[in-house]
Structure 1
Amino acid sequence: MEGSDYLDLFVEETDWYNDIVLGSLLPGGAWKRLPRPLRSWLRNYIGGTVLYLVSGFLWCFYIYYLKRNVYLPKDAIPSNNAMYLQIIVAMKAMPWYVALPTFSEYMIESGWTRCFSSIKEISWQAYITYLAIYLVIVEFGIYWMHRELHDIKPLYKYLHATHHIYNKQNTLSPFAGLAFHPLDGILQAVPHVMALFLVPTHLMTHIILLFCEGVWTANIHDCIHGKVWPVMGAGYHTIHHTTYRHNYGHYTIWMDWMFGTLRDPEEETKRA
């Protein structure tokens, strides 16, 4: 397959995503007259907003209403006003957040990355191997990006401190997961894009993983420790919000273990 034909596969795939999201919500096809990057941005904005609000509301409804006082004591439940303010911060940043996947799609469609369109082009064994390498790169990258957002004082003061005003159980909620300064949120997602240049990556998998970030960040801010090794669950991340110097990792505890910043929730309970 020639290079231009190969890149057409990426264009066809992203057009399909646009048809699913924009075609369902904006009937009439007027959106098809928009420039391609703007179409991708609009689709990502709608998808990201729906994912954030729906996952946040459902999870809050479950843990704060259906399971009230089961997972968290009454005084650890954030107020409605606190959650509302978190939503405001996240929604102000959302238009900027989705610029990153829009830009990554542009680079993919232009042939600048090592992306491939179909698993049939390689093999399932190769796909799983590449995915594992991709995830290691993302774990490493996000750990150090997050850590430097703490260690480099201007970055913390002007960017990351926006997120760390939520530093107690009763100020943390699933809605805090995306309540960042826009540039902070983008910087912590950049390793997903950097990986596209380092390892062959399946386009659909890349897009799914970017949106999984929204669900994952909601989960690790709910203060409920799942205790599934080696997952960096909410118990670990709550410690990060209270100590500021531990548990910078993303999906797993491995990077914190390797670089000496891990603090276990059970040990924290014993200290208390």
Structure 2
Amino acid sequence: MDEYLQLFVSETDWYNSIVLGSLLPENLWKPLAHVLQSWLRNYIAGSLVYFIFGGLWCFYIYYLKRHVYFPKDTIPSKEAILLQIWVTMKAMPLYVSLPTVSEYMVEKGWTRCYSSISEVGWLAYIALLIAYLVIVEFGIYWMHRELHDIKPLYKYLHATHHIYNKQDTLSPFAGLAFHPLDGVLQALPHVIAFFIVPTHFFTHELLLFCEGVWTTNIHDCIHGNVWPVMGAGYHTIHHTTYRHNYGHYTIWMDWMFGTLSDPVSKPKKAS
């Protein structure tokens, strides 16, 4: 077992070397404890994903395509975007603690993660991945919904994110502008899932990376209308009614539990 768990340690060492080895002198980062290396790597990588994808997408939709997607008076101000960045970067140290802790649990053998797809075969890998995604989708839906329904959680945590409640205050940079604990709670189903279903470790890491990209996309107010994707059109409604479209990647959980509102229906704004 120890030899098998070393595969996960070697894999996270490799991730660390990709990020830290190219940005910091070798004699500076190598003496750091393994878990601190992982936290620093996650912090740097998470910040880069946030700024690169948020920045490129803002440049595209607000500058290159500024006359295509939005009237001038609906483009968020620089001040609003800078505030979103400030809120996000204050929270980032805690955000990246979750994947750091989850990697530690994997390395200790406390989860049901496996190292290589060859251990289960492609058919089982796909079936297990679907199960993992269903658990994540279900978990994020209910976590998000309870952050609204439980009043203290909304008041002290989730309200931080919902100050962005109309098109001229939402931007790709709003995607991670949460209270730090709120952001951790909404990502927690990714970690819970690999205690329930066998999960490929690299795929889990890749999906966490995709979270950073996805949250940029769903806060741009552009309705892609790709069924059954819970795109920005649906999520913009969520930011204006507060009672619809709690889902993550798809509309299915909202459809099943009666909270779906299609962008075409144009629901009334919450009072």
Q: TM-score range by the shorter chain?
A: over 0.9
Q: 1:177 is aligned with what amino acid?
A: G
Post-superposition shift, 1:74? 1.3
* Gap change, CA 1:163 and 1:270, over 3 Å in 2: closer
Q: Deviations over 1:83-129 (max 9, x none)?
A: 01100000000000000000000000000000011111110111111
Instruction: Give the drift of 1:28.
Output: 2.4
Aligned match for 1:262, one of 260, 263, 269: 260
Structure 1 unaligned runs (5+)? none
2:136 match: 138
| 3-state SS, counterpart of residue 194 of structure 2 | helix
Cα distance in 1 between the residues matched to 2:27 and 2:35 = 16
Of the structure 1 ranges 25-34 and 86-95, higher mean CA displacement relative to structure 2 is found in 25-34
Asked whether the equivalents of residues 241 and 268 of structure 2 are also in contact (C-alpha less than 8 Å), the reply is no
Residue 176 of structure 2 aligns with which residue? 178
Deviation digits for residues 131-180 of structure 1, max 9, x if unmatched?
A: 00000000000000000000000000000000000000000000000000
Whether the 8 Å CA contact 2:224–2:231 is kept in 1: the answer is yes
For 1:24, what is the secondary structure of its paired residue? helix
Runs (5+) with no aligned partner, structure 2? none
Cross-structure match for 2:124:
126
Give the residue type in structure 2 aligned to 1:234: A
Match runs of 1:66-215 below 5 Å? 66-215=64-213
Q: Is the 8 A contact 1:143 1:249 kept in 2?
A: yes
Partner Cα distance (2:102, 2:185) in 1: 14
CA RMSD of aligned residues (A): 1.2
Write out per-residue CA displacement over residues 37-95 of structure 1, whole angstroms, 9 at most, x where no aligned residue.
11100000000000000100000000000000201111111001100110000000000
Aligned to 1:49: 47
8 Å CA contact 1:23, 1:29 repeated in 2: no
In the alignment, residue 62 of structure 1 is paired with which amino acid? Y
Which of 5, 29, 32 aligns to 2:30? It is 32
Taking the aligned partners of 2:267 and 2:175, their CA distance within structure 1 comes to 24
TM-score, normalised by the number of residues in structure 2: 0.98
SS where residue 78 of structure 1 aligns?
Answer: coil
Secondary structure of 1:164 counterpart: helix
Structure 1 residue 268: Cα displacement: 1.0
Cα 1:178–1:270 change in 2 (3 A) is closer
Rounded to whole Å, the distance in 1 between the matches of 2:89 and 2:4 is: 36
Contact 1:49/1:94, CA 8 A, preserved across alignment: yes
On the 8 A contact 1:45/1:98 being kept in 2, the answer is yes
3-state DSSP of counterpart to 1:29: helix
Aligned to 1:18: 16
Q: How many residues align?
A: 269
The answer (yes or no) to whether the contact 2:95–2:184 under 8 Å persists in 1 is: yes
Which residue is 2:5 aligned to? Answer: 7
How far residue 242 of structure 1 moved from its aligned partner, in angstroms, is 0.2
Q: SS at 1:163's partner residue?
A: helix
Equivalents in 1 of 2:140, 2:94: separation in Å?
18
CA shift digits 1:228-261 (9 cap, x unpaired): 0000000000000000000000000000000000
Measure, in 2, the Cα distance between the counterparts of 1:143 and 1:16.
33
Structure 1 distance, partners of 2:267, 2:242, is 17
- On the 8 A contact 1:71/1:224 being kept in 2, the answer is yes
How much has 1:270 moved relative to structure 2?
11
Identity of counterpart residues, as a percentage? Answer: 77
1-side partners of 2:267 and 2:109: how far apart?
51
SS state at 1:113 partner: coil
Distance in 2 (CA, whole Å) between partners of 1:74 and 1:269 is: 24
Conserved? CA contact 1:118–1:202, under 8 Å: yes
* Aligned residue number for residue 56 of structure 2: 58
State the AA in 2 paired with 1:257: W
